[in-house]
Amino acid sequence: MVPYHKPIPSSKEKPLMASGIGAWVEAEKLMSLAFVLPSSVLICWGFGAWIDHLLHQKWIAIVGIIFGCVCGLVYVIRQAIAAEKKATVEDEKTSEPTNQP
């Protein structure tokens, strides 16, 4: 006679998307994108204006604004690409065919 052993429980934690926390995390990531672009422009403009004041120039603040725009857009695009990849992977996981007779 073979004794019955309970199966070893899975050590994997529940994915965040299974709980309500996952939705809040994703919403926070998307909301942060709305603040990244203006804040990067503001910070780079302020830094450029400060250097303008130190070096008695007038053009460095404009370069700071342009640099802030580029940095903010690069960050937003990278986050959008990462979100697209994540959505594609999740879609592939949910659409896997099951082997049912």
Query: Per the domain annotation, does 25 fall within a domain?
Result: no
Across all residues in the chain, what is the average pLDDT?
Answer: 81
Predicted confidence (pLDDT) per residue in 3-40, tens digit? 676 766 666 655 555 567 777 887 788 888 889 889 99
**Amino acid in the structure at residue 43:** I
Query: Per the domain annotation, does 51 fall within a domain?
Result: yes
Query: Per the domain annotation, does 50 fall within a domain?
Result: yes
**How many structural domains compose the chain?**
1
SS3 annotation, 29-56: HHHHHHHHHHHHHHHHHHHHHHHHHHHC
**Containing structural domain, residue 58:** 32-92
The answer to whether the predicted template modeling score (pTM) of the entire model surpasses 0.75 is: no
Weakest-pLDDT range from 27-31, 57-61, 71-75:
27-31
Query: Per the domain annotation, does 44 fall within a domain?
Result: yes
In contact, 47 and 71? CB cutoff 8 Å = no
Query: Per the domain annotation, does 24 fall within a domain?
Result: no
